[in-house]
Structure 1
């Protein structure tokens, strides 16, 4: 169940919201005039979320490369890497 707080709590209960975000690694949804307005989360949770998006983008690019035959056999790639390491 999401935690929902009014915007006035950002000013009046900032420390409580911060502690919740760090303890539970979940966002707190902030409302303004009764409607959703913001989602507040810890930096750690934000960075983990952004990391997932970046990973999904790389996976999508890899799948696109496979579908469009822009791939090489692994043994060729590893041989090339090993050659560079020996220099």
Structure 2
């Protein structure tokens, strides 16, 4: 859960906000007139979060391509019954 502070705190205490971000690895949400205005976070935590999101997106893209390939195989008749596929696999092993 991010810490919420008025944006004026950034002007007065930027060092303390930066230190809080570094220590907790949590973002600080800065508000202006009671509404969210900016989010400040530690650069290392941002990099970690960005890498994690990239990894998730790559996995989801792979899954989507695999599903599309399977659907294409199904719609173009490139499938066979399970028993036939299993029998062929058993013969190869």
TM-score (norm 1): 0.74
Query: How many residues are treated as equivalent by the alignment?
Result: 70
For 2:40, the equivalent position in structure 1 comes to 40
Deviating runs (4+, > 6 A) in structure 1? none
For 2:18, the equivalent position in structure 1 comes to 18
Deviations 1:25-72 (A, max 9, x none): 0000100011111110010111111111111110011101211227xx
For 1:53, the equivalent position in structure 2 comes to 53
**Larger Cα-atom Rg:** 2
Gaps of 5+ in 1: 71-87
Gaps of 5+ in 2: 71-93
